[in-house]
Amino acid sequence: MGGSELPQVTDPAGVARRLEAWFPSAARDLPWRRQRSGYAALVSELMLQQTQVSRVIAAFEAFMARFPTPAALAAADEDAVLAAWQGLGYYRRARLLHAAAKAVVERHGGQVPAAAAQLGELPGIGRYTAGAIASIVHDAREPIVDGNVLRVLSRVAGAPTAAGERASDAWAWEQAARFVGAARSPAVANEALMELGATVCTPAAPACGRCPLASSCAARAAGTADAIPSPRKAAARRTVHWHALVDHRDGGVLLDRRPDRGLWARLWQPPTVESDVPVDAAVLALAWGVPVTCTASFVHVTSHRDVAFTVWHPAPGARPSAPGAVRVPLDELAGRGLANATWRVFESAGLPVRTPPSAAAPRRGRRPGPAGPAGS
């Protein structure tokens, strides 16, 4: 069904009123709600894309303590920013946030702008994030649509939308504009709409019994809430094979920087041979110029692929060839940006490293991303 054929949210003003009345007593106590500022919203919104709230809470407070202002973040070394992002995954967001802080300093005197149009010109800030900061921090009448908002509006209207479908996104932006246009407080109404989607109108088993919109929800009346919106088609998964050489001596380990693009771009890793198929010791010995032995293997699951790691050691006394690699003391690893999988490589290799707590926890139940292009 095209966006123009979908039913509209009836009485958006009534929906806004009920949500505005519900939110003060229902809102979760989240650290970025305790320190309202454009900068805190910028940091938290980028962290929340694709990452569950419980993981963001700990990372947010540590990040804000380390980089309390856009100027502090802009002046920081990229490795320090990536290290502070550890455990959140999707490191492209960290680089975009770093670039946004630099742009805030260069173009706006270090103050995160209030207008959605100016926010939208910052690196990494899409329509959703610009609208969220402008409306929630500055009470601007800007619509926002993320996965939570799409789901709530679709169910209230009884509109059979489809996650990730262009016509459904266009419909949701139109409904969100009607909704915020009718709100008394755009800040409260928008945040309440997102909160309802995150805590009550959840993708599976929505808690309609304690929903402030239950009496006017078309999907509830029709018994179709569980089927709306229809899920995004799963991307085809593939398996790649990464062969990591752990060369630990003199208190340090060899590290390479990953390429500028692709998975874990610009993070650090041990010298690694990547291929679509498993590669044997003879081939790896040629690549690294020394005999090698495989000591461990595991599979790391990412959003689109399974990375089958094998962990290799050089023969005793042999010096592998790894142009560009640097030897980093083990106690300095936490100051570099390392993917969770890299910590696991080192643990599998038996290195006496302590994986940072934020990098050790499993990653599940991510917040649905903004509607539109992926944020990371």
Residues involved in catalysis? 45
Report the residue number, 11 or 78, with the smaller CB distance to ligand SF4.
Answer: 11
Query: Which 113-172 residues touch ligand SF4, going by CB under 6 A?
Result: 152, 155-156
Alpha helices by DSSP H, 161-237: 166-181, 186-199, 218-222
Report the residue number, 130 or 200, with the smaller CB distance to ligand SF4.
Answer: 200
Distance CA 271, CA 289 (A): 12
CB of 153 to ligand SF4, least distance (A): 9
Exactly one of 122, 162, 200, 290 binds ligand SF4 (CB under 6 A); that residue is 200
Distance CA 8, CA 372 (A): 20
Exactly one of 26, 71, 214, 273 binds ligand SF4 (CB under 6 A); that residue is 214
CB of 207 to ligand SF4, least distance (A): 6
Q: Does 16 bind ligand SF4 (CB under 6 A)?
A: no
Report the residue number, 162 or 213, with the smaller CB distance to ligand SF4.
Answer: 213
Distance CA 351, CA 278 (A): 24
Place of tokens 């742009």: 103
Q: Please, what's the largest Cα pairwise distance for the chain?
A: 75
- Residue 98 three-state SS: helix
**Residue 31: Cβ-neighbour burial (10 angstroms; 0-12, 13-18, 19+):** middle
Query: Which 276-305 residues touch ligand SF4, going by CB under 6 A?
Result: none
Phi, psi at 356, each rounded to 5°: -55, 140
Which residues 6+ apart lie within 8 Å of 317 measured at CB? Answer: none
CA distances from 43 to 169, 248, 343 (A): 25, 36, 25
Q: Does 194 bind ligand SF4 (CB under 6 A)?
A: no
Q: Name the one range near ligand SF4 by CB under 6 A: 118-126, 137-145, 198-206, 270-278.
A: 198-206
CB of 182 to ligand SF4, least distance (A): 17
Report the residue number, 167 or 208, with the smaller CB distance to ligand SF4.
Answer: 208
By the criterion CB under 6 A, which residues form the site for ligand SF4?
152, 155-156, 200-201, 206-208, 211, 213-214, 217, 219-220, 225
